Chains A and B, each alone.
Chain A
Amino acid sequence: MQASLSSRPNIACRSQFAAGAAATSKRSRCSSVVVAGLATEKDNPFAEELKANAKHISRRGRGILASDESNATTGKRLETIGVDNTEDNRRDWRQLLYTAPDLGNYISGAIMFEETLYQKSREGVQFVDLLKEQGILPGIKVDTGLQVLPGTDGETTTQGLDNLGARCEAYYKQGARFAKWRAVLKISEGEGPSSQAILENAHGLARYAQIAQQNGLVPIVEPEVTLGPGAYSIEETAYWSERVYSHVMRLLNEYDVLLEGILLKPNMCLPGLDAPSASPAEVAKYTVRTMMRTIPPSVPGIHFLSGGMSEEESTLNLQALQDACPNSPWSLTFSYGRALQSATLKTWQGKEENWGKAQAILTALAKANSEAQLGQYKGPHPAPGGGRILQALRFGGAGK
């Protein structure tokens, strides 16, 4: 792992002098590190805006609502409550979420799928405007899905770099102010992600982040070390997470990504699915240690994903992070999908008469997590109990 991961040739060289060229100068024989001058800060007109938005999204007591399920995945959710996967139903579901009263007190950003970014409410109001009314910044999922890496045991890379610049520009115009790209690394009993998978995914994240920033979108960098089968320990998860994040940071550095203008979306450290659950304190201990060792303080927000945790676990673990890391240099907060939506969906059942109740549950869940972010959550939880949720890998391209 060492050699193959570290020796990616000449990434640090921004200008390479060919051997033998300009023979008069001794310097020409050397590979020079002439870094293109501070490409993000000084040359990027969005630099201040990126920093301000990243800071705004990650401010204390706030987190992100992840509602960027693809049409296919949204369909699966709607199916569980017997609702058809139509554009109108998807619109209704997102409208329910985005117009939940007081949601903006707890949620600072909402990640959308492309269809949703361009959708209007039943009353004809753009979703981006509804969110802005709530004080919630609109975000957009920009990756186009996972693809299996040849020669690996089902490991994946994330697609979406082609035409990304143009898409980001369009999304910004539509009102998006942050983006998201999900990379997935697998661990299971006794096996971690391959060096190929780590490097490939870190590279994708870094290139995406660079392009997003060039187009005014704060990139959420999501290297998910996903929960898998096996009785592997929490120490193993911590170990692999540390390796992965270390490599992600290296590549972000090499691509001159403005760290004050990104957000991180990592996994918490959990033991394998077949191992006994860890207490919130233990989860927090290893998660904090991993972040302390890999994430420099200039990253303003670390928004943990909820994959693998029940709704209550997501809140309790988030609170435990604050206890384990008082005065943390970055905000330790959330970007939750299922942990905010699951009970909401079940309450709605696709029925008009349940609309208010469902919104109330969503706001209550957001509030619980906001309190947990501040270290002030007391319970009882709006959606208590619940078992481990296996975050199955999603395969396929855009739109699936």
Chain B
Amino acid sequence: MPSRVDPGACHRMTILGGPGCLPFEFVASPFVAMAASVAMSTLSTRPTSAVSRSRRTTVTVQAAAYNGSYAEELVATANKIASPGKGILAMDESNATCGKRLESIGLENTVENRQAYRELLVTTPGLGQYISGAILFEETLYQDTRKGTSMVAELNKSGLVPGIKVDKGLHPFANTNGESWCAGLDGLAQRCADYYKQGARFAKWRSVVSIPAGPTSIAVRDCAYGLARYAAIAQNAGLVPIVEPEILLDGEHDIDRTLEVAEMTWAETFKYLADNNVLFEGILLKPSMVTPGAEHPKRSTPEEVASYTLKMLRRRVPPAVPGIMFLSGGQSELESTLNLNAMNQSPNPWHVSFSYARALQNTVLKTWKGEEANVQIAQESLLKRAKANSDAQLGKYDASGESADAAKGMFEKGYTY
């Protein structure tokens, strides 16, 4: 079992020009610490552009991976989020989607109710023990709590890095099999700069791939390419991009087919990330786990999911990437935690953790029911789920204390986020 101490310590000392790495007990997750310190110490120079030698194709070569003024900070933030025992609370549901959540517990979709709900989440005492970052929707990034403090300030107080969803949602993709493409590049640079000013330090963009639809090569390509362009823009504005090409759970396909599509999607994604000079040491990934389709008759055990998922990651993810934060995408709270736990039974070259929305919030919502009197107990249930996933990140999750509710699946066919 790998030892579990904060690799960020080694890294932070390097940024501040301190004496370098502390004695051995602080170098427990050496991949992350090493990647960080190597990336940082080699960021100082950058080769000048060169013209290709070939007389026929005088193509001007683009410069090397991002090495601008935010480079060190990006690496530091990515490593802070990807700390042992920590993961991300995804709470960036759009107003419409948040409305669905509130309606499910009988609440109206008003700005006050959304505020009350998000306040419940961000003011949960002790959340920072298990959660290193929270992804917000734009409204929430600019919102205050009812007591007048900003949501951002509450997060920072608890040691959570504020993040922001920056894409403009999925749209129907012409001439494909009913697939979608993700919009949001127009004006993105300005949006990111504004969000940085407001306190965000990481961003998220969610694109999707549908196995029942093929997927078609143009849909995969656009998914990957959009992510790469977004990532480059975000980094230039000081935001660590979370790269999320979600392979939707919908479908009857088996786990082998998911593996194929996942390998292809990530190959394509890394291709364009490299072409767009994205600094790999300053990004985080948000993949879907490799599982059978929701309607496939045979379920997979956590061990099988872990084996397939790690195989895919090992084949496609360069170790320079500090963290891989899985989405839960319709799996039950329990499934999501068990699968994550199975993936952390031996050391990985990157931090393997969670960025869960429904898998963290489901029980919280049902416990709160919109009642002030239930806030504390609802917060406790959030903490319980956060701790469970933190334990899973450390590979020591024990499922014996779980309720039946946690095992309820949350898959909705054709779910629109």
Does A384 sit within 8 A of B, measured CB to CB?
no
Q: Could you tell me the distance between the alpha carbons of A13 and B274 in the complex, rounded to whole angstroms?
A: 21
Contact A239 B59 (CB under 8 A): no
> Provided the pairs A35-B260, A192-B52, A239-B47 are in contact, do residues A4 and B214 lie with their beta carbons within 8 angstroms?
no
Give the shortest distance, in Å, between B176 (CB) and chain A (any CB).
6
Does A351 sit within 8 A of B, measured CB to CB?
no
Residues on B lying within 8 angstroms of A by beta carbon are 27, 30-31, 34-35, 38-39, 41-42, 45-48, 50-57, 59, 61-62, 64-65, 175-177, 214-218, 220-221, 256, 259-261, 263-264, 267-268, 270-272, 274-275, 280, 311, 313-320, 347, 349
Q: Could you tell me the distance between the alpha carbons of A124 and B50 in the complex, rounded to whole angstroms?
A: 55
How many residue pairs between the two chains, A and B, have CB atoms under 8 Å in the bound complex?
167
Q: Could you tell me the distance between the alpha carbons of A193 and B55 in the complex, rounded to whole angstroms?
A: 12
Does A191 sit within 8 A of B, measured CB to CB?
yes
In the complex, which residues of chain B have a beta carbon less than 8 angstroms from the beta carbon of A295? 318-319
Q: Could you tell me the distance between the alpha carbons of A292 and B42 in the complex, rounded to whole angstroms?
A: 13
What are the 3 tightest A-B residue pairs by CB atom distance, in nearest-first order?
A: A194-B54, A253-B267, A298-B314
Contact B260 A196 (CB under 8 A): no
Does A250 sit within 8 A of B, measured CB to CB?
yes
Contact B53 A292 (CB under 8 A): no
Q: Could you tell me the distance between the alpha carbons of A386 and B65 in the complex, rounded to whole angstroms?
A: 35
In the complex, which residues of chain B have a beta carbon less than 8 angstroms from the beta carbon of A37? 256, 260
Does A100 sit within 8 A of B, measured CB to CB?
no
> Provided the pairs A35-B264, A195-B52, A296-B316 are in contact, do residues A327 and B62 lie with their beta carbons within 8 angstroms?
no
Contact B280 A293 (CB under 8 A): yes
Chain A positions 189 through 216: 1 when the CB is less than 8 Å from some CB of chain B, otherwise 0: 0111111110000000000000000000
Contact B264 A250 (CB under 8 A): no
Does A6 sit within 8 A of B, measured CB to CB?
yes
In the complex, which residues of chain A have a beta carbon less than 8 angstroms from the beta carbon of B311? 298
Contact B175 A293 (CB under 8 A): no
Give the shortest distance, in Å, between A254 (CB) and chain B (any CB).
7
Q: Could you tell me the distance between the alpha carbons of A197 and B57 in the complex, rounded to whole angstroms?
A: 11
Q: In the complex, which of the residues B42, B55, B176 contacts A289, with contact meaning CB atoms closer than 8 Å?
A: B42
Contact B62 A196 (CB under 8 A): no
A12's closest neighbor in chain B, by CB? B217
Chain A positions 313 through 332: 1 when the CB is less than 8 Å from some CB of chain B, otherwise 0: 00000000000111111000
> Provided the pairs A12-B220, A254-B267, A292-B320 are in contact, do residues A285 and B54 lie with their beta carbons within 8 angstroms?
no
Give the shortest distance, in Å, between A306 (CB) and chain B (any CB).
23
Please indicate which of the listed interface residues A29, A186, A286, A298 has the most CB atoms of chain B within 10 Å of its own CB. Answer: A298
Give the shortest distance, in Å, between A10 (CB) and chain B (any CB).
7
Q: Could you tell me the distance between the alpha carbons of A293 and B39 in the complex, rounded to whole angstroms?
A: 10
> Provided the pairs A12-B264, A30-B177, A250-B271 are in contact, do residues A293 and B318 lie with their beta carbons within 8 angstroms?
yes
Contact A285 B319 (CB under 8 A): no
In the complex, which residues of chain A have a beta carbon less than 8 angstroms from the beta carbon of B317? 296-297
Q: Could you tell me the distance between the alpha carbons of A190 and B259 in the complex, rounded to whole angstroms?
A: 42
> Provided the pairs A30-B177, A152-B53 are in contact, do residues A297 and B319 lie with their beta carbons within 8 angstroms?
yes
Does A378 sit within 8 A of B, measured CB to CB?
no
Q: Could you tell me the distance between the alpha carbons of A4 and B275 in the complex, rounded to whole angstroms?
A: 11
In the complex, which residues of chain A have a beta carbon less than 8 angstroms from the beta carbon of B38? 285, 288-289, 292, 324
Give the shortest distance, in Å, between A3 (CB) and chain B (any CB).
8
Contact B53 A285 (CB under 8 A): no
Q: Could you tell me the distance between the alpha carbons of A64 and B260 in the complex, rounded to whole angstroms?
A: 33
What are 23 A-B interface contacts by the 8 Å CB criterion? A1-B61, A5-B275, A26-B177, A30-B177, A31-B217, A33-B214, A33-B216, A33-B264, A37-B256, A37-B260, A38-B256, A38-B260, A186-B53, A191-B51, A194-B52, A195-B57, A196-B54, A254-B267, A289-B39, A292-B35, A292-B320, A297-B317, A324-B38
Q: Could you tell me the distance between the alpha carbons of A192 and B61 in the complex, rounded to whole angstroms?
A: 9
Contact A153 B51 (CB under 8 A): no
Chain A positions 263 through 298: 1 when the CB is less than 8 Å from some CB of chain B, otherwise 0: 000000000000000000000011011001111111
Q: Could you tell me the distance between the alpha carbons of A286 and B47 in the complex, rounded to whole angstroms?
A: 13
Give the shortest distance, in Å, between B277 (CB) and chain A (any CB).
10
Please indicate which of the listed interface residues B39, B270, B274, B316 has the most CB atoms of chain A within 10 Å of its own CB. Answer: B274
